[in-house]
Chain A
Amino acid sequence: MHFALPPRKTSNPPPYMPRSKRLHTLRRSRLKLIAITGLFFLTVIYLLTRGNGHPKLKKRMPTGNPPVVVVTVFDEAKYGKGYIDTIKENRIKYAEKHGYQTFFANIGDYDLKGAPGSWTKVVAMRHALTKYPECHFMWYLDQNAFVMNPQLKIEDHIMKMAKLTDLMKKDQPVVPPDSIIKTFSHLTGQDVDFVLTQDKEGLSVGSFIVRNGEWGEFFLDTWFDPIYRSYNFQKAEAHALEHIVQWHPTILARLAIIDQRLINSYSQGNKGDQYRDGDIAVRLVDCVTAGAQACETESQRFTQQWRTSFGKS
């Protein structure tokens, strides 16, 4: 179609777009290049950071509050209240001195499904772990025992890495004298989560130290397995321990046997190494078979001694 006249121009023409400086420098081809490089880098970053499926679980590090928990299991049915209170006082005073905590349990507190009462120490240790999840170590010390030298701290005296490496006995038969299972010779203090001693009869469970951690839980759970409790080991939990230590290398590899007098001196020398002044603790072993009264009498000479040594410091 043709019109006679060309159409009228609009009277307010659109203003020209100002020429953008930026657009000028970024030409289309360059933009393309930038986009491609960007994409490439994003791909590389994606591939590298895609994560390797399952990140390792962060190992929970306990803060060390309290550093050590002293665990003792009492037999209130058998022993007099005064005697037990003396022992509790001994533990509490020692714990207060270094900022430790104590954990006391009684035989009968836990349902052992018919197993001997001495099994209580294992479950009590597990309970202490639950109650003090931030502790570094738990020291189980038998009822008939006294801390004699309050100056010694567990974490310095025994559990210091470098020191423990020197203290631990390597290539030592687990059950003396002639067990073919021996402690590993390549371990250092870092590998150790469980420290105990031997007396003349074998592994002694009257005084031992367990480090807080996954392994500690595993070890205590395994030791407390109902299948061991129902097996009628002659010496209950002590023989169960000897059994698992000899049959399960994951436990043997975390264990250190140290000299008996470091944590487990005996009041008399016929069952093991005898107490000498300066040792951290003394255990009354012989009196247990004789009865509660014998222990209370024997304890008196040590009670004097630890009271003076606690008073001095």
Chain B
Amino acid sequence: MSLSRSPSPVPGGGWASPGLNINSGRSSPTRGYTGGTSSATPVMWESSRLKKAGGSGYPSFQTQGSGFLSKHMRKISSSLPRFNTSNSSPYAEKEKLGRGRWSAQNVPLLGRIRGLMGRMGRKMKIRLLLLFMLLFCIIIFYNTPLVYHWRRTSWLGGGQKFVIILAANIGGGVMEWKGAREWAIERDSVRNKKKYVARWGYDLEIVDMSTKKRYAHEWRESWEKVDFIRTALRKYPKAEWVWWLDLNTFIMEPSYSLQDHIFNNLHKHVYRDINEYNPLNITHPMTEEHLDPDSRSPVGDGNVNSVNLVLPQDCSGFNLGSFFVRRSPWTDRLLDIWWDPVAYEQKHMEWEHKEQDALEQLYTTQPWIRKHTGFLPQRMINSFPTGACNENGNDTRIHYDQKDRDFLVNMAGCEWGRDCWGEMYNFRELSYWLNRNPWELFKEEFVAVIWFKLTGQKVKL
């Protein structure tokens, strides 16, 4: 029984010096790892045994300097975990006393932690616990789908009350060939909405506007909107508000939730008296004496809960590039009445914007429409780039301003002689730049600035 142990009184260890416990009756280690042969060998100091076995005439160490590995190997390897790999001996080499090897290294990890905890004060323990709790919470909330479901449920976040309909695949076909730019616009726009929806737990419905071919027999192009909204309301029975978005839109501030941005304080944001901003010069309120007081009041019944249609106005009237409709019997009626063959037959020549003009017509003539329509300041949900509506120069009511961190940009009309993809790209990059995370901010706004001041060179980190 060859024994070589470190001299520490580790439980179950025995003594390092051979012979000490040769007949001591201790049974540890009970057997050699290499079987019977080693038990027959006489007691021997381990180091001398090694020298004998592996030496074969060469010195056991080299004094000549050699490469990095041979110089530092020992240091590196001494920090690696140790395994008993020698085939002749069950244990590691003989330990020299006072060489300063940690005895605790042989204690298992759990034991070591237990020891650490034992030595720690109660206060420290609680602090550590809190830290772990915090970490746990961060992981739960930000690295698991929990936060998504939290934001979706109707009684916590209420995300499933909102459906975004994105009109994709406009154009296309033989007449308007879809090139790389068009595909890129579509890709960016869809990705932007998808991210937003995933963040806040809303639903996204991407609709294919090219299905208008189906209407070819009665040709009511661009009223597909109505059918898509109706379908979405059926498909998402828990949805309360439907948000229609054109393809050429970009959500600049994905950190704004619809609830915070608009709907929690709808009564503050929405204006029902169109005289507040009235580019179409619609006479409001109605004055006919056969109408009820609510219809003749400029603000309907004044209760924000009766607003079922929320839309912005741009420089030339209603804008249906980004608007909200709420599920209600009233909405069913609107979607039903919106397209009417008699109206279409009389007006289709002058209705340049089709369903938008039809809605303006309804708003102008129908008291029941007015009573339930509210308007949002355009820049809340539908800022324009400087290229649109610029006959009178820049208008603070209409055009995007990055200082105010407008929510959404609608590149309305960019297909008429403007560069859609260029605008989309610029706004995308601007949005990323405005919403940099703290680390990027630190790098670019602090380190890079200091570096620039010191060396006069601009760096990209």
Interface residues of A (CB under 8 A from B): 47-48, 50, 52-57, 110, 123-124, 126-127, 129-130, 133, 214-215, 217-218, 221-222, 225-228, 230-231, 243-244, 247-251
Contacts and interface: CB of A to CB of B under 8 A. Distances in A.
Given A214-B330, A226-B365, A231-B346, 12 more contacts: A52-B155, A53-B158, A54-B240, A54-B263, A127-B290, A130-B292, A130-B293, A217-B295, A217-B368, A221-B367, A227-B340, A250-B337
A227 B361 contact: yes
B332 interface: yes
A243 B290 contact: no
Max chain B CB contacts within 10 Å: which of A53, A56, A123, A228?
A53
Q: Give 6 closest A-B pairs by Cβ, nearest first.
A: A127-B290, A250-B336, A130-B292, A218-B368, A221-B368, A227-B343
Interface of B: 154-156, 158, 161, 240, 259, 263-264, 266, 288-293, 295, 303-306, 326, 329-330, 332-333, 336-337, 340-343, 346-347, 361, 365-368
A55 B329 CA distance: 15
Contacts of A123: 290
B346 A227 contact: yes
A231 B366 CA distance: 17
Contacts of B361: 227
Given A222-B337, A225-B365, A225-B366, A52 B290 contact: no
A47 B156 CA distance: 7
Contact of B333 (A55, A218, A225, A230): A218
Contacts of B305: 54-57
B156 A57 contact: no
Contacts of B332: 250
A293 B98 CA distance: 136
A55 B240 CA distance: 11
A48 B288 CA distance: 45
Nearest to A59: B329
Contacts of A48: 155
A48 B156 CA distance: 8
27 contacts: A48-B155, A52-B154, A53-B263, A53-B264, A56-B305, A57-B303, A110-B290, A126-B290, A126-B291, A130-B290, A214-B329, A217-B292, A217-B368, A221-B367, A221-B368, A222-B368, A225-B343, A227-B340, A227-B343, A227-B347, A231-B342, A243-B342, A244-B340, A249-B336, A250-B332, A250-B336, A251-B336
A161 to B, nearest CB: 19
Nearest to A240: B342
Max chain A CB contacts within 10 Å: which of B292, B305, B342, B367?
B342
B295 to A, nearest CB: 8
A254 to B, nearest CB: 10
Contacts of B259: 53
Contacts of B266: 54
Given A54-B240, A54-B305, A231-B346, A247 B368 contact: no
Contacts of A222: 337, 366, 368
